[in-house]
A and B are shown apart, each in its own frame.
Chain A
Amino acid sequence: GAGVSQSPSNKVTEKGKDVELRCDPISGHTALYWYRQRLGQGLEFLIYFQGNSAPDKSGLPSDRFSAERTGESVSTLTIQRTQQEDSAVYLCASSPLAGVSNEQFFGPGTRLTVL
């Protein structure tokens, strides 16, 4: 079956531009997560969506970052006025239902390069 998909796979942008990254979770998965992984670093939690509940935005590094999700479908992560330190792989993950066993299924990621 289809896994988590993300687009674009690669994005090169100039400093100061806005970018929008897309995530299509596995159908039926109510929980959706965004992570950032800088080169050689671990995964850094950004934001979490669970159904129609208010998202957990505690990991967003600045107000330039925002994300939306409509219901249990597609999510978009927007970075405004990009900076070079935003260069990273942005990973999206979904899970069936946040709970005791929270196995997360990851997408292939979007590699963002800010020049």
Chain B
Amino acid sequence: GQNIDQPTEMTATEGAIVQINCTYQTSGFNGLFWYQQHAGEAPTFLSYNVLDGLEEKGRFSSFLSRSKGYSYLLLKELQMKDSASYLCAPYSGAGSYQLTFGKGTKLSVIP
């Protein structure tokens, strides 16, 4: 089975740094996706981690520890437009290649 845990909501200040954690227990694991979803819009791809460690992409970085079943998304220099839900999605890499999404973390960036 699949079990994904993320905080439901977070609030951070514009210009600050925020870390969104995700823990998961999955039957089979190949990698982990992070998606961003603005209210009323479709999810959009942010990152995909296969190997342990930190991958940086501009203001966003994503970390993975396969042995701990843990990932985080790090957002730097927060902007108001970063207010969105952030979805953690482990990928089993087998069978139907479906992603299992967590319920998402709703991030509110305040001035």
B33 within 8 A of A: yes
Rounded to whole angstroms, the CA-CA distance of A92 and B108 in the bound complex is 26
B104–A42 contact, CB under 8 A? yes
A43–B41 contact, CB under 8 A? no
Report whether over half of chain B's contact residues are helix, strand or loop; otherwise say mixed. loop
B residues 81-107 near A (Cβ < 8 Å) are: 87, 91, 93, 95-104
- What is the total of A-B residue contacts with beta carbons within 8 Å? 61
| Total count of chain B residues near the partner, CB < 8 A | 23
State whether A101 and B31 are in contact (beta carbons under 8 Å apart), knowing that A56-B96, A56-B98 are contacts in the complex.
yes
Q: Of A13-21, A63-71, A73-81, A103-111, which stretch is located at the interface?
A: A103-111
User: Nearest CB to that of A56 among chain B residues?
Assistant: B96
Selected contact of B93 from candidates A4, A95, A100, CB within 8 Å: A100
Which residues of the partner chain B approach A104 to less than 8 Å between Cβ atoms? 45, 99
Which residues of the partner chain A approach B42 to less than 8 Å between Cβ atoms? 4, 91, 106-109
B26 within 8 A of A: no
Rounded to whole angstroms, the CA-CA distance of A68 and B97 in the bound complex is 18
Which residues of the partner chain B approach A95 to less than 8 Å between Cβ atoms? 97
A101–B48 contact, CB under 8 A? yes
CB distance from B71 to the nearest CB of A (A): 16
Rounded to whole angstroms, the CA-CA distance of A41 and B98 in the bound complex is 18
A98 within 8 A of B: yes
Rounded to whole angstroms, the CA-CA distance of A59 and B98 in the bound complex is 10
Rounded to whole angstroms, the CA-CA distance of A103 and B48 in the bound complex is 8
B11 within 8 A of A: no
CB distance from B94 to the nearest CB of A (A): 10
A106–B96 contact, CB under 8 A? no
Complex A-B: 17 CB contacts under 8 Å: A31-B97, A35-B101, A42-B102, A42-B103, A42-B104, A43-B87, A44-B101, A45-B98, A56-B96, A91-B43, A100-B50, A100-B93, A101-B50, A102-B91, A102-B93, A103-B48, A104-B45
Interface residues of B (CB under 8 A from A): 30-31, 33, 41-45, 48, 50, 87, 91, 93, 95-104
> When A and B form their complex, which 3 residue pairs have the shortest distance between CB atoms, in order from nearest?
A56-B96, A106-B42, A98-B97
